[in-house]
Amino acid sequence: MDFNHNVDGDLTSHLDTTKLLKEMSDDDDVVSMELPGVNIFSPYDPWTKALLRNPVRNTVCGHIYDRDVVHGLIKNNPGIRCPVAGCANRTYIHPAHLIEGAEIKQQMLQLIIQDALTDSQELSSDDEDTNREDNTDEVKKDADDD
Residue 134 belongs to what domain range?
102-146
Last residue of a domain, one of 81, 100, 119: 100
As for how many domains the chain has, the answer is 2
Residues 128, 60 share a domain: no
Name the average pLDDT for the chain: 74
Q: What is the pLDDT of residues 50-68, one digit of tens each?
A: 988 899 999 999 999 999 9
The CATH number linked to 20 is: 3.30.40
- Dihedral sign from CA coordinates of 129, 110, 7, 41: negative
What integer is the mean pLDDT of 27-40? 45
pLDDT band at residue 14 using 50, 70 and 90 as cut-offs: very low
The C-alpha atoms of residue 52 and residue 69 are separated, in whole angstroms, by: 10
Residues 132, 63 share a domain: no
Residues 144, 85 share a domain: no
